[in-house]
Amino acid sequence: MTDLMCVGAIAGAFGVTGEVRLKSFTADPRAIADYGPLTTEDGRRTFQLELGGEIKAGFAARLEGIETKEQADALRGTRLFAPRDRLPALPEDEFYHADLIGLAVYDTGGAHLGVVHAVHDHGAGDLLELHLPEGGKTVLLPFTRAAVPTVDIAAGRIVADPPEGLLD
């Protein structure tokens, strides 16, 4: 488990006065402001965040120390992180995406299927991107109770029952 969790990303400037377009990755998108100050992944920069209004795919936001459109544009693509201990505890059977990445995946018979490389959400539910051991093939496994009956973070493993034909 990592001490820093990615909670958002800057998508570029919003207007000409230094505001940024902010994408929030938190369950409650406005809660990103509660976890500050936020840092870059390397910890070199820290930002106090003030959310503005909702805009398409996120929020207009002001970051302390960012005063111009050029400064805001220079931050495009910057991911923002908060220490894990500032985030809420999760109920049983809910997981932070970062905790799933890197877990080994086994089928219900104990055969190794691969490793979780990423977690994607395209609007219809989460998908686990698995890298299979043979030939570097990648598959997307629905992250549902039926397809993933067991997640054991402490043991570093997932038990999966992939839909028929997924691994062919």
Domain extent listing, the chain: 4-86, 97-160
Which residue, among 40, 62, 158, 38, has the nearest Cα to 110 in the 3D structure? 158
| pLDDT tens string 112-125 | 999 999 988 777 78
What is the reported pTM?
0.75
Q: Which residues contact 18 (CB under 8 A, 6 or more apart)?
A: 62, 63, 66, 67, 68, 69, 71, 72
CATH architecture, domain defined by 97-160? Roll (2.30)
Q: Which of 22-26, 66-70, 93-97, 160-164 has the lowest mean pLDDT?
A: 93-97
Distance CA 14, CA 106 (A): 45
Confidence bin at 82 (pLDDT 50/70/90): very high
pLDDT at residue 140, as a whole number = 92
Of the candidate CATH numbers 3.20.20.30, 3.30.360.10, 3.20.20.70, 2.40.30.60, the domain formed by 4-86 belongs to 2.40.30.60
pLDDT at residue 103, as a whole number = 94
What mean pLDDT is reported for the chain?
Answer: 90
Q: Is the distance from CB of 11 to CB of 17 less than 8 angstroms?
A: no
Q: Is the distance from CB of 102 to CB of 115 less than 8 angstroms?
A: yes
Q: What is the mean pLDDT of residues 30-48?
A: 92
Which residue, among 158, 121, 157, 153, has the nearest Cα to 140 in the 3D structure? 121
